[in-house]
A = this chain, B = another copy of it.
Amino acid sequence: MSRRITWADAACPIARAADVLGEPWTLLILRNATAGTTRFEDFRAQLGIADNVLTTRLAKLVDRGLLTKLPYRDGGRTRHEYRLTQAGSDALPVLHALGTWGHNHTASDAEPTTLIHTRCDQATAPGAKCDACGKPLARGDLAWRGSWLSDGEVPLAEPVA
């Protein structure tokens, strides 16, 4: 990231958010984390991203509080995984708005990615209530259908407490 300008202290919340999220790899890492990816090598394999690029983007997402780095045991070794925080989980409306715009305004034969309320099996936007059935939307009842990851349903990752 060779950017020299920061909008981290801008008065405008759109500018402050763009300072964190206005970068393609960052958005795609967050997308994959939202779909449950937690490990460096899985982000790398899914995204085809260079190690150094992935390292800087993950570090920024941790620094800005969207991901948290937690230890896990891998055989005899302690390694680290990257888990969504509440702030990272709350970026879902940004990803959803991007996906909707991308589906409507960029050319592709690909099917749309749909956010599904699994309790009623209908499409919804992120929010307090399901657009289809009107019941409260719990994070654990959300899945992406027809995503880059799978033709089936991918449950959205819950933030760490």
A9 on interface, CB distance cutoff 8 Å: yes
List the one stretch of A13-21, A69-77, A116-124, A134-142 in contact with chain B: A13-21
Give the oligomeric copy count. 2
CB pair B148–A106 under 8 Å, yes or no, is no
Residues of B within 8 A of A2 (CB): 2
A27 on interface, CB distance cutoff 8 Å: yes
* 0/1 interface trace, chain A 18-38, chain B, CB 8 Å (1 if under): 111111101110010000000
CB pair B108–A13 under 8 Å, yes or no, is yes
Residues of B within 8 A of A66 (CB): 105
* 0/1 interface trace, chain A 128-153, chain B, CB 8 Å (1 if under): 00000000000000000001100000
CA distance A95 to B15 in the complex (A): 9
CB pair B14–A102 under 8 Å, yes or no, is yes
A160 on interface, CB distance cutoff 8 Å: no
Check A18/B28 contact, CB under 8 A, given A93-B100, A101-B90, A104-B90: yes
CB pair A21–B108 under 8 Å, yes or no, is no
